[in-house]
Structure 1
Amino acid sequence: MKNSLLVLTLALLPALANATQITLILSDEQETDNAKVCIYENATRTETVTLKPFQQCKHTMTFEED
């Protein structure tokens, strides 16, 4: 059991080491009756985050780079 956990951990380390983060700026927000959609983007990437209607969009958000 310990050996298999060690092998799994070692196998995941390169993937974690290559994961980088990117910070995007809020470009738009849209409200519906039951949700708020926050749209973050830069020149090359767009991400959306769905929140509850009473929540506020953050000015910037950090996402994992693929």
Structure 2
Amino acid sequence: TVVRLVVRFYRNGRGQSALREILGRVIQDVLGDKTLSVHTDPVHLYKSWVNQSEAQTGQRSHLPYDVT
């Protein structure tokens, strides 16, 4: 997988500095973006999606809000 490839590359001394140089700025931009939601909980993502849909349409969603 890609993750294994990156981990193997990172463990190499040259790989650490190369990854830092290649990905450092992008990662800092993502971490610094306060408008970006990086939640991975499916329930949280679903509720956020329903809220966003309601805000865009101005109407209450027909979808249930409380899910598990």
**TM-score, length of structure 1 as denominator length:** 0.34
- Between structure 1 and structure 2, the one with the greater Rg is 2
TM-score, structure 2 normalization: 0.34
More strand by share: 1
